[in-house]
């Protein structure tokens, strides 16, 4: 009897996006701490959003549940693309690259078995949260 393992699609782009987001987060902290005046609230908020994006990437790469992976992948796409556009003049370009990696992963992963609605909702909410916080703060 030969055991077969179904290939999980989109693992490597999602893992690469998670590593890239983690590197951007460390670079962001280094650059911010080198400045004389630091807005702790804004730095904490950006750090929280980068952490959430990295967690979405990791969940999409590692999670075995096919209902959770697509939602996390599409949430990662929305969040990273949104953060990349907001931070285009500082840390945005590598975040856009991570967003493109997550888009490749999300397309390979597909949508959840229950339908594309949850993936679309996750992507839209993740894309709107940084803009909402930016406009409010």
Q: Give the residue-averaged pLDDT of 59-88.
A: 92
Per the prediction, the chain carries an average pLDDT of 89
Classify residue 36: in a domain, yes or no.
yes
| 75-127 per-position pLDDT tens digit | 999 999 999 999 999 899 999 999 999 999 999 998 877 778 888 999 999 99
Domain of 100, in residue numbers: 11-136
Instruction: Yes or no: say if 105 and 19 are a contact pair by the CB < 8 Å rule.
Output: no
Range from 10-24, 34-48, 123-137 that averages highest in pLDDT: 10-24
Q: How many domains does the chain have?
A: 1
Spatial CA neighbour of 72 closest among 17, 24, 131: 17
Classify residue 2: in a domain, yes or no.
no
Backbone angles phi and psi of 115, in degrees to 5: 125, 170
Alpha helices in the chain (DSSP H): 11-34, 40-62, 69-86, 92-109, 117-136
Classify residue 94: in a domain, yes or no.
yes
Residues 6+ apart with CB under 8 A from 116: none
Classify residue 3: in a domain, yes or no.
no
Classify residue 88: in a domain, yes or no.
yes
The Cα–Cα gap between 63 and 60 comes to: 6
Res 21: pLDDT: 97
């Amino acid at each position: 009897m030969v055991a077969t393992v179904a290939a999980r699609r989109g693992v490597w782009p999602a893992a690469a996006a998670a590593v890239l987001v983690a590197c951007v987060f460390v670079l962001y902290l280094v650059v911010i701490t080198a400045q004389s005046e630091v807005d702790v609230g804004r730095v904490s908020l950006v750090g929280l959003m980068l952490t959430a994006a990295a967690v979405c990437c990791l969940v999409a790469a590692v999670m075995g549940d096919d209902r959770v992976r697509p939602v996390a992948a599409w949430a990662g796409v929305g969040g990273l693309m949104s953060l990349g556009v907001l931070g285009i003049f500082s840390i945005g370009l590598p975040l856009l690259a991570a967003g493109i990696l997550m888009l490749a992963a999300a397309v390979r992963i597909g949508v959840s078995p229950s339908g594309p609605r949850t993936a679309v909702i996750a992507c839209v909410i993740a894309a709107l949260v940084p803009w909402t916080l930016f406009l409010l703060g």
